[in-house]
Structures are given as structure tokens and as C-alpha cells.
Amino acid sequence: MKMSMHNKQTRQYKCGSCGGEMELHNSRSKFVSCPYCGTVAEQDSETYKILTKNASPDKFKPRSFLKLGLTGKFNGKHYKIIGRISWKSTYKEYWNEGGESGYSDETWTFDDWLLIDEYGGYLNIVEDNEGYFITRSFIPKYPSLPEGTSINDFDTNTPQRVTEYGTSEILYYEGESTYLVQPGNKVGFSQYNANHQDVIAEWRYSEDGKLKEIEFFKEGPISRAELQMAFLSNDEKKQLQQAVIEKQKVRKTNKNIFRVGGLLNLLLGVLFVFVLYPNSNQQEKLYDQKFSLYEYKQGKLASKNDSLIQLSFAGKSFNIKPNTPYLKVKIDPNIAPETQVLVLLEITDNSGKVLFKQSVFNYNYKNYKKGKAASNLSNYLSTFSTQGVEGTFFPKVIFEMPKVSFERSKQNNNVYAHIKLWEVGEEHSSVLFFVFGFFLLLISVFIRVPKLKTFD
């Protein structure tokens, strides 16, 4: 890539501590850190006066292919990486869960890569263990600092909720900078979200406690593939494209393998239907009832307080025949979004003695924490012994949930617990089922997915 502006500005010299080759690309840079030994020198002085020394570079190796001196192209501009600062942030992060909200204590480590374009403009790439972000500084229409957990939008001057706020501390620095970067230095920051971007205010204080500097940034994600195509050389791009082609070939081979595996599974299915299934446990449906929360007025309100609602429903009775060895029971709940529900099933006889008792806990939150979903949508299926048991029995279903979940659920006619019971005969063909399962295991071992090659 042509970097004519960089070539004019680039100066080369040796580190005064280790003798390593060093380059200075930005005429505005006043300090430079040796990438070999961590020595920080003042470039304005004729002798490149040594000021301090960072931690050993071996302790803060780059997380990926990004490194000092790498050139790339974004939006028609050529850039070169000229610096990196490793940070550790200690901050508060906003969360919203089930009608409750607050701020949690968090920590985060990341690398902030400084890039300069051919015209002297800056760009930052933030990198952590999960991905990359492009950060650009901007001049806000309405600059402000946060007040508590609120901050005015920099473009509209309307109040916004602060999503993160805290301090970031420098752990390591390499490359060049317009100011003296020292490990241990801290900055304060606050951010909010607007138009699918993080909008950030960052400030520094002087030693006497006065506000020294404020900067404003907008930050958005960028994929690893985009960065690779921007930074890699033509040979490296060819290598990456070849790796993609090889991966596609492997996937095509996998599809053919899966087709063969599908045919074998079909044959095994036929074997199961015509050989094993006729000899398996005989089942007869005994009970089937859906308990709907929408009809809660027909149920009995067991208890109610400021934080917990409990609803009790009595189901229709059913009979267990003499000499029925087993009952299979299935509890299948369905709940509303942004709720949590505990479903309890009890089966009792005429005297109130409990024959069977089981609970199922479900929750479903789309915005559990900072846009992340959290859910546990499951049912219960099991078999229990009824040896020596016969007569009439009564199921009871209890819904137990927080008040906020109850208010969201009672208007939804699709919130229910579906209860099913089957009579199960004596077990048969256990040896056949074992052979069948072992055969499936062998098939899964031999029809396996080859390891894909990846490019880093």
C-alpha cells in the first residue's frame, strides 16, 4: 500500500536502552516506546532522552494479527498502526431483569490500537477477547459530562441513561503518542447507546484535581474478516481465500457423509419400527388436561402478597387399574415473555396422601442484561412406580410466580401447564434396546465431522 504521507514523516533511530530499531511516523508525536524493551523516550530532544520504562513487552503480547507498523485501508483511506495501549476498566454496568434494574460491578481488559492515515487523521481499533470495535473521535453539538446515572445526548441534548461508567487504568503502552503515557495513569468514562452505537465521554484530571481534558467518541463493531481484508498483504489474502476454499470443500464432503449417515439412520429407524417398537413398553393414555392461567378465576387463589402470587387448580380425577406397574407423567408448561413461573404437580388419593409430586421452573427474559437473553424453557417427563396402587386419584397444579410475572401472564391466553399421564406395562426387550443404542454409538463414531482447517 502506498503511504506517501507516512513515508515523508517517518524517522528511524535506535533505542537508547537496547539498541533496537525504532520508527516515528507522526510529526505530532512527542513520546515513543520501544517495542523490544519498553523504554519510553522523548523524541523532541536531540538525544531521544529516556524518560521511563514500561513493563516487558513479553507480558503484553498482541491478542491477534494486529501489530505495530501494520498498514491497512478503510473507507478509501490508508492507515498505519503506530501505537497500542493496554487498559483495564473497573466500572458499573446497567442491567434490567424481570421488571427490576440496577448497576453491577464489572471489569474489562482490552487493547486500544492507534492508527494514523496518510493525511494525519486518527482512528482507533479496540480489541478484546470477544471481538473488535472501530472508535472515532468527534466534536459533539452539546458536550456534557454525566450527572449521576444520566447524561444529555451530545446531538439532541435530551437525557439518556448511562449504560456504563467508571475508570480505566493503563497497563502497558508501546509505539508513539502525543502525550506521555504511563502505566497506572487513569481516565474516567461514561457511555450511553444511540442508533446502535456506543457514545462515550472520556476525561482526565490534573494532579491538583482540575479537569484537564475531555474527549468524545462513537464506537461500533467490526468483524475480524473485515480487518483481515483491510490489513493483510496480497499473499496473506490469497492464503486466507485458499483456506476458505478448503473449508468449503470440507463442508461439501461433510454433506455427502451426512447423506450416507442419513440413509443409515433411516434404515435404523425402520429396524426400530418393525423389530424393536412392537416389543417395547405398552402405553395407554390415562389423563390429559391443560391448566390455563388465563382462566385463573376458576382456580383457587392459594395465597397473595406484595411479591409472590400462588394459584392452585384442582384437576379432574382419574382411576389407576389394579396391577398397573408404572405411570408415565409429562409436565409441559408454556409461559409469557419476560416472566418466570414455577409449576408444581401433585397427585393425591381420596385421603390426601401424595402419590407423586414434581415441580418445573421456567423463565424467559429477552433483555436479561444489556440486551442479552436468558431463558430456561423445559418440560418434565418421567416414569414412577404404581405397584400395589389402585383407585381414584386427583391431580392438583400450582402456579407460583412473582407479582410482575403474574400481571404479565394473566392477560395471555397462551400461558398454561399441560399435564399428561400414561399407563405403562412391564418393560420388555431391554437387551434389544441396548444393542440398538450401542449400534447407534458406533455409527456416530465412524460418521464424524473431519476437523476443519482455519486461518488465523
Rounded Cα distance, 157 and 79, in Å: 33
Rounded Cα distance, 327 and 421, in Å: 7
Instruction: Return the top range by mean pLDDT from 28-37, 120-129, 273-282, 300-309.
Output: 120-129
Local confidence band at 261 (pLDDT 50, 70, 90 cut-offs): low
Question: What pLDDT score was predicted for residue 308?
Answer: 80
Nearest one of 241, 175, 179, 238 to 206, comparing CA atoms? 179
For residue 312, the SS3 value is strand
Q: What is the mean pLDDT of residues 29-51?
A: 72
Set of cell numbers at residue 8:
515523508
Q: What is the mean pLDDT of residues 100-129?
A: 92
Which residue(s) pair with 33 in the sheet? 40, 175
Q: What is the mean pLDDT of residues 96-115?
A: 92
Question: What pLDDT score was predicted for residue 384?
Answer: 82
Instruction: Return all residues near 430 (Cβ < 8 A) that are at least 6 apart.
Output: none
Nearest one of 264, 278, 139, 255 to 201, comparing CA atoms? 139
pLDDT above 70 for 112: yes
pLDDT of 202-258, one tens digit each? 998 887 878 889 999 999 999 988 888 888 776 776 776 777 778 777 877 777 766
Burial of 265 per CB tally in 10 Å (0-12, 13-18, 19+): middle
pLDDT above 50 for 1: no
Rounded Cα distance, 364 and 355, in Å: 31
Backbone angles phi, psi at 409, to 5 degrees: -90, -30
Nearest one of 38, 53, 66, 48 to 11, comparing CA atoms? 48
Q: What is the mean pLDDT of residues 416-428?
A: 78
Measuring CA to CA, how many Å separate 205 from each of 186, 208, 209, 261? 9, 8, 6, 65
Question: What pLDDT score was predicted for residue 274?
Answer: 54
Amino acid code (one letter) for 288: D
Rounded Cα distance, 24 and 151, in Å: 38
Question: What pLDDT score was predicted for residue 250?
Answer: 80
Give the dihedral of Cα atoms 276, 282, 285, 287; nearest 10 deg.
-120
Rounded Cα distance, 93 and 91, in Å: 7
Question: What pLDDT score was predicted for residue 442?
Answer: 62
> Strands 77-97 and 11-14: what pairing?
unpaired
Set of cell numbers at residue 280:
417395547
Question: What pLDDT score was predicted for residue 369?
Answer: 59
Question: What pLDDT score was predicted for residue 245?
Answer: 79
pLDDT of 162-180, one tens digit each? 999 999 999 999 888 888 8
How many CB atoms are closer than 10 A to CB 334?
A: 19
How many CB atoms are closer than 10 A to CB 158?
A: 9
Burial of 92 per CB tally in 10 Å (0-12, 13-18, 19+): middle
pLDDT above 60 for 297: no
pLDDT above 50 for 450: no
Give the dihedral of Cα atoms 344, 350, 353, 354; nearest 10 deg.
-30
Lowest mean pLDDT among 79-83, 208-212, 257-261: 257-261
pLDDT above 50 for 69: yes
